[in-house]
Structure 1
Amino acid sequence: MKNDEPTVGRRVLLRTAVFLALAGAATGVIDFGGGTGTAGPEAPGGAPGPGQGPGTGPGPAAGSGPAAGAPGARALPDKAYRLQPMTAEVPARPPAVKPAVRTRPLLALPSGPSTASAMVLTFDDGPDPRYTPAVLDTLARYGVHAMFFVCGEMATDNRDLLRRIAAEGHAIGNHTWTHPHIPKLSRPALASEIGRTSEVVQQTTGEAPLWFRAPYGEWNRAAFEIGAELGMEPLAWTVDSLDWTEPGTAPIVSRILKGAAPGVIVLSHDAGGDRTQSVRALGSYLPQLLARGYRMTLPALPPR
């Protein structure tokens, strides 16, 4: 049986090692670097942790490695810190400043030196692939910008045009989703009309509209309140081209040239019917306005 003696000896050693490891785990004494130490938090610089003053705790065993806290010792890290909240506070995002709720829409640019020769061209009801591209081409030819009050149902079907409008530096306003008569809508229905349109504009261009215009110029308190809640100012117009009546190109041109004045906001359309006359009229009155010294500009948001 002499051949079994080495095997028996190794079994005894293994059992002893397992026993010692279990005992160490039960008493909280674990060796990570050839020595022993008491598990628990360690003060900075290797100083004793709470309850570990001089002379307390088990001392180093004979023949063992360095004691806990000594160079070369590695104490079990305290995992309790993982459950603690982070001390650094995340700075709160400042709330968006919403415009005041108005009782009437803005009708013209504010008077002043910066608007002495300024006018605003606006186009409603689009974008329409039959007419909007021609309007954009004419504006680009003369290097001017305009405002496009879009309807959500048109915008969602013509997102490429919506992106082009924004990319060429024009302003995009909210003109509801289906161009309804606002006074006939419930407040939830109106909120949906306005909110969905702002959403599709933001999804497509990356920016929500900052201006709102009521279809037919039919404003009520709910329209002002919902528009303000969505961060928009209400904008109407000063000169109505009446192009929506399709009176012919010459009457549209005559009406706009006659109404031209500093601070004027002109209403035209690039959708909602046959807008061939509107497109032709723009090509006629725009160069004449510029020749008279007028600047086509975009309105600045009033102070909030």
Structure 2
Amino acid sequence: MPKDQLLTRRRALLAGAAAVGAAGTAGALAVGSGDGPAPAAAPAPGPAARRPLEPSAYRLQPLTGYGAPREALRRPPVRSEPILRMSGRGRVMMLTFDDGPDPRYTPEILDTLAEYDVRATFFVCGEMADHNRDLLSRMADEGHVVGNHTWSHPLLTRLTRRRIRSEMERTSEVVERAYGEPPRWFRAPYGAWNRAAFQLGAELGMEPLAWTVDTLDWTTPGTGTIVERVEDGAAPGVVVLSHDAGGDRSQTVRALRRYLPELLDSGYHLTVPRRRLV
């Protein structure tokens, strides 16, 4: 066959393949548009023809489950007394708030912490958290730590072991659903600990954390008094106890606005507790 005829035949074959490819592309782009489904493109003739792939065969897989696995934490020991201070170097302190979240006061505390880019620890009661899950979600988004403060704030030393477990477990379940992970820290109401509380807390993967400086803000002593108690007690490793629920906490809100910038100006770093990995 002459050379010019061979070239003409090759051009015809290439043009035909391009037309088939264009028809297939047009059919794919048309899926999902218009009033009805677009007809599928016909497969190319010949022995190598295959059935079009079903959507499930080439659909992109969801990304869920492909990220980094959650870090496993070392199971805490069963302690005989709670942790009172932070370990570490430098002028490091920790702010903690109990009994919430309360929609009247917790958002203002979160606003102040956000203004100064400070993280805190909130020991929540399950019955409060259950009605204010949006605030737990906000705590998670802003990098705060959420701890377990029982469901109904009872005196644990007067409860049976079964009741203590129920108080802890119900709260942990609410925290995990709203915050995104179970609590890793536990604080007994009124600071009343017993062996059962230490044992059950450890079984649920939680460390017991108490405090070093008590602002006694629940007695509503006045904004100035709360500020003085925090500033007088400030020292490396100190854990400060305040409340964001359980009564009128407007003094606590105002006091935080005053002492937080002063602590930062004094060189203190306000942080949250850390747990060791396995």
Q: Provide the TM-score with structure 2 as the length reference.
A: 0.73
Q: Deviation per CA, 1:88-125, whole angstroms, max 9, x where unpaired?
A: xxxxxxx9742110101000011x43xx1100000000
Report whether the alignment pairs 1:148 with 2:122. yes
Match of 1:107 in 2: 84
Match of 1:167 in 2: 141
The aligned length equals 208
- What is the CA–CA distance in structure 2 between the aligned matches of 1:275 and 1:145, rounded to whole Å? 19
Cα RMSD of the aligned pairs, angstroms, is: 1.5
Letter in 2 for 1:211: W
Q: Deviation per CA, 1:136-158, whole angstroms, max 9, x where unpaired?
A: 00000001000000000000000
- What is the CA–CA distance in structure 2 between the aligned matches of 1:101 and 1:165, rounded to whole Å? 28
Letter in 1 for 2:158: K
Match of 2:56 in 1: none
Instruction: In structure 2, list runs of 5 or more residues that go unmatched.
Output: 1-71
Report whether the alignment pairs 1:295 with 2:272. no
Letter in 2 for 1:231: G
Q: Provide the TM-score with structure 1 as the length reference.
A: 0.67
- What is the CA–CA distance in structure 2 between the aligned matches of 1:222 and 1:232, rounded to whole Å? 13
Q: Deviation per CA, 1:167-208, whole angstroms, max 9, x where unpaired?
A: 110000000000000001001001000010001001112200
**Residues 65-214 of structure 1: pairs in structure 2 closer than 5 A:** 97-110=74-87, 112-113=88-89, 116-214=90-188
SS where residue 120 of structure 1 aligns? strand
SS where residue 182 of structure 2 aligns? coil
Match of 2:211 in 1: 237
2:231 paired residue among 257, 260, 265: 257
Letter in 1 for 2:249: R
Report whether the alignment pairs 1:247 with 2:240. no
Letter in 2 for 1:181: L
**Structure 1 position 135, deviation (Å):** 0.1
Q: Relative to structure 1, is the Cα distance of residues 171 and 96 closer, same or farther in structure 2, using a 3 angstrom cutoff? A: closer
- What is the CA–CA distance in structure 1 between the aligned matches of 2:105 and 2:179, rounded to whole Å? 20
Letter in 1 for 2:223: T
Instruction: In structure 1, list runs of 5 or more residues that go unmatched.
Output: 1-94
Q: Which of the pair has more CA radius of gyration?
A: 1
**Structure 1 position 302, deviation (Å):** 5.0
